[in-house]
Structure 1
Amino acid sequence: MPANPKYLSSNWQRFAKITAGFLGGYFVTISFHLAISFFFNHVNVMITSTYSGFILWAVLMILAFIAKNGWKIWAIYLLITFLFSIIIYFGKIYNPIIS
């Protein structure tokens, strides 16, 4: 019995969800850990990021597939990455020894 077409997404939506899950989730995860490394001990954050990074990346990937619109989730992930990048920028300004 074939699936009902109204529940199937287009190829572009499938592409957007897959790339948002893998790449967008990775960008958010890495930028988050880099941002908090400027406010805590950066060695401890980078060591902890091997475990917490995988968990966060997996959660973000699942959220990308749950979302109805892949392009909106891409926009959200890019916005979050941009916000963490601003935190990284100001972290480098106020803590230049770490970089």
Structure 2
Amino acid sequence: MPANPKHLTKAIHQRMAKITAAILGGYLLTTAVHLALATWLDKGTVLITSTYTGFILWVALMIIAFLGRNGWKTWGIYLLLTGFFSILVYVNKIYFTVETAL
């Protein structure tokens, strides 16, 4: 049974934004989340569990990217969250570098 055409995205730029946000943005966010977890928690445990949870999170973020109406907003949210988790990694590196220097 085909989809109802009124629910499909007609603009090619919105469709491409959703596809790239799902694949690239979801992967970037998944990687940033697991890097942040690895800096704050036990690295070995996060590395072992990230093989499974990384794939699950990436697929969930792919699905979420297609649920929204605007692909550019999805890109913005994914990049904002990726930046947030990257800042957490950076802050942790600075904190432990200063702490070990003392």
Could you report, residue by residue, the CA deviation over 1:3-48 in whole angstroms, capped at 9, with x for unpaired residues? 54x4332111110000000000000000000001111111110111
Aligned structure 1 segments of 4 or more residues deviating by more than 3 angstroms: 1-4
AA aligned to 1:7 is: H
Which one has the bigger helix percentage?
Answer: 2
Can you give the 5+ residue segments of structure 2 that lack an aligned partner in the other structure?
A: none
Rate the CA distance shift 1:34–1:2 in 2: closer, same or farther, 3 A. closer
- 2:8 matched to 1:8? yes
RMSD over aligned Cα atoms = 1.8
Paired residue secondary structure (1:38): helix
Partner Cα separation in structure 2 for residue 45 and residue 3 of structure 1: 42
- 2:28 matched to 1:27? yes
Give TM-score, length-normalised by structure 2.
0.86
Which residue of structure 2 aligns with residue 72 of structure 1? Answer: 73
The number of residues matched between the two structures is: 96
